[in-house]
Amino acid sequence: MTQYALFETAIGWAGLAWGADGLVAAHLPDATPEIARKSFTRRFPEIVEGSPPAYVLDAIDRIRALMLGKPADLTGVPIEMGRVPDFNAQVYAIARAIPPGETLTYGQIAEKLGDKLLARDVGAALGQNPWPIVVPCHRVTAAGGKLGGFSARGGVNTKARLLAIEGAKALEPPPPKPARTRAAAQAPQPSLFD
């Protein structure tokens, strides 16, 4: 049975979901617990809120510490890597080894995989990461000091905020927000990181 728990961090409400063999998903901090809850119920229709086992409680404590800018290691948190394609699992294993405050580029990960031409594939795999923070995809950037993309709510602004909290070396600032169109004004996507 897949279960989840929501928890408050210094920058908003986050969540972790787990199955029999480890975490199956994570939700980055957001404005309300309802956003995280909907994220899990949309991905896992049979999911139920539950009491976290010890390793999930430990992960929650470590994520809270990270969101306060404190060093915390999440590499030992079990995740159900069998749920993702082999290539993605290889990318995630490399990304998990990046310590807080450090970054690798998509190209550097591609080179570690044996082919620098895989950089776009690395980006695509990270865009499908079900465990953000635990698999710190925000620590993977584009070449030349650019942030690159980020598929989570808030986009590159969320990535920049997470890197700043962790004390990462200065990167290119996020691009200015585009002027809102009438359609965008009618359907805002709130984020703590905008």
pLDDT confidence of residue 187: 56
Task: Report d(CA 169, CA 21) in Å as an integer.
Answer: 35
Task: Tell me if 61 is assigned to some domain.
Answer: yes
Task: Tell me if 121 is assigned to some domain.
Answer: yes
Q: What is the CATH number of the domain that holds 14?
A: 3.30.160
Task: Tell me if 124 is assigned to some domain.
Answer: yes
Number of Cα atoms under 13 Å in the Cβ half of residue 142: 14
Task: Tell me if 77 is assigned to some domain.
Answer: no
Task: Evaluate whether 26 touches 130 at the Cβ level (below 8 Å).
Answer: yes
The catalytic position among 72, 84, 137, 160 is 137
Assess whether 92 carries a catalytic annotation.
no
Task: Report d(CA 34, CA 39) in Å as an integer.
Answer: 8
Q: Are residues 7 and 62 in the same domain?
A: yes
Q: What is the mean pLDDT of each run of 10 residues along the chain (194 residues)?
A: 96 95 95 92 94 98 95 95 97 97 96 97 96 96 90 86 87 62 56 52
pTM summary value? 0.85
Q: Are residues 62 and 114 in the same domain?
A: no
Q: Are residues 56 and 93 in the same domain?
A: no
Range of the domain at 49: 3-67
Q: Are residues 88 and 153 in the same domain?
A: yes
What's the burial of 132, exposed, middle or buried (CB within 10 Å: 0-12/13-18/19+)?
buried
Residue where one domain finishes, among candidates 67, 92, 121: 67
**Strand-strand pairing, 140-141 and 104-105:** parallel
